[in-house]
Structure 1
Amino acid sequence: MTIDDLKSFMLVCRLHSFSTAAVELSMTQSALSKRLQAIQQEVGSEFISTENRRQILITESGKVFYRYAQRIVSSYDELEQELKAYRELKKRKSANWQRSSYVAIRFDKNHKHFRTKLPAN
């Protein structure tokens, strides 16, 4: 089960429609249905009842699973944001270090040049 599987399940629940969710996910309704069947099989519980062809019904275990899926996806999104911020901070620190190294090297070269041009007191 992947984060994308959880997001797919959550979208079907929110939209109450396999076809609309499939279009939004850019996949076939059949592929989406198979994805959700695999989740249900993995967990061993039915989350969506399709007895009524006109409307899907979320089972009680599906509602419980939805709440946990929300938490997991939310935590995953927070993790992605924190890692992105860390990478950006690391990139900025690296750029600052490179700039400060460049300045130090330039200063050292200029300082040596300056010392050779002026006599010592």
Structure 2
Amino acid sequence: MFKFLETFMVVYRTHSFSLAAQQLFITQPTVSNQIKQLEAQLNTELFERKSRRESVPTPAADILYKRSAKILDDWHDINTEITDLQASKKAHVRFGISQTVSRILFARIANQLNQRQPDVHYDVTVSNSEGVLTLLEDYKIDLGIIEKPLVTEHVKRLSIGKDQLVKAGTPTGTWITREAGSGIGYYTEQYFREADIHPIRLIHVNNSGLIRRIVSTGVGQALLSSKDVPENVQVETLGSAFIRDFYLLTRDEDLQVPLLMAITELIKQVTDNLDA
């Protein structure tokens, strides 16, 4: 049943049985069979097959999708609790962080977790800012840390530090930036608008570390955190207009969970002294 729900959620997002099969690394007939079994159990149709490539969710699918993430998260928690009970009874937290956070901030948090919460097990998933938010909404992580100012229902956003963006690299007319959904991509587009910049060539890269390496070779320019600029690279400060926040994301329903409250407080203390 739970595997069927996982398959259903991917089909719902992609509107495609074939794309869902690719993402789940299973065959399309397997996807179709699982959806048919789920429809049989619910005695309703979940998707209207408009064509071989598109499947449109029905109103029943809309209802099921809203509940499925919570059902799967509860099942995950049950499994985790039983596993912890049988093993070491240690707590477990899942973090989702953006790439800039992974490069310049999370190591400090991990250090303090190791010192002050040694019994906590944790996993870390790195994605862009919008990807982290989606993971939180889908109950696949417990806490998110991003730098793009996203707002959504039922998710609390707390500013936990400042970060100065700078223009780094050689002015060749080429700009290197991140993909849509990322913090760097968001602020780069903002900078283009405000400075009326029209790049001769625009290179999109989905990895902040690769942007640093490309910039260091003299290919072009990019917006980077002032804390993440390669050595011997030309830098131009952008001033206070491009001081951005790091944000801690939590679901409203988790605000009173003691472990998450303790880790939230720890993260705030780690980031209180960040230099802008």
Measured against the shorter chain, the TM-score band is: 0.5 to 0.7
Percentage identity across aligned positions?
26
How big is each residue's C-alpha offset from its partner over 1:49-105, in whole Å with a ceiling of 9 and x where there is no partner? Answer: 112444221111111111222221110011112122212226xxxxxxxxxxxxxxx
Hey, what's the Cα distance between the residues in 1 that align with 2:56 and 2:39? 14
Hey, what's the Cα distance between the residues in 2 that align with 1:71 and 1:64? 12
Aligned position for 1:74: 73
Q: CA deviation at 1:8?
A: 0.6
Partner SS for 1:42: helix
Give the CA RMSD over aligned residues: 1.9
Q: Partner letter of residue 6 of structure 1?
A: L
Larger Rg: 1
Aligned position for 1:6: 5
Could you say if the C-alpha distance between residues 55 and 37 of structure 1 is closer, same or farther in structure 2, counting changes exceeding 3 Å?
same
Hey, what's the Cα distance between the residues in 1 that align with 2:66 and 2:49? 20
Aligned position for 1:88: 87
Aligned position for 1:29: 28
Hey, what's the Cα distance between the residues in 2 that align with 1:43 and 1:6? 12
Larger helix proportion of the pair: 1
Hey, what's the Cα distance between the residues in 1 that align with 2:14 and 2:79? 25
Tell me if 1:58 matches 2:53: no
Hey, what's the Cα distance between the residues in 2 that align with 1:54 and 1:29? 11
Q: Mark the runs of 5 or more structure 2 residues left unpaired by the alignment.
A: 90-276
Hey, what's the Cα distance between the residues in 2 that align with 1:39 and 1:4? 10
Aligned position for 2:15: 16
Aligned position for 2:47: 48
Hey, what's the Cα distance between the residues in 2 that align with 1:66 and 1:30? 21
Hey, what's the Cα distance between the residues in 2 that align with 1:32 and 1:54? 14
Q: Partner letter of residue 24 of structure 2?
A: L
Q: Mark the runs of 5 or more structure 1 residues left unpaired by the alignment.
A: 91-121
Could you say if the C-alpha distance between residues 25 and 54 of structure 1 is closer, same or farther in structure 2, counting changes exceeding 3 Å?
closer
Number of residue pairs matched? 90
Hey, what's the Cα distance between the residues in 1 that align with 2:88 and 2:30? 39
Q: CA deviation at 1:44?
A: 0.7
Hey, what's the Cα distance between the residues in 2 that align with 1:28 and 1:51? 20
Hey, what's the Cα distance between the residues in 1 that align with 2:52 and 2:16? 10
Larger strand proportion of the pair: 2
Q: Partner letter of residue 62 of structure 1?
A: A
Aligned position for 1:110: none
- TM-score scaled by structure 1? 0.66
Hey, what's the Cα distance between the residues in 1 that align with 2:50 and 2:25? 25
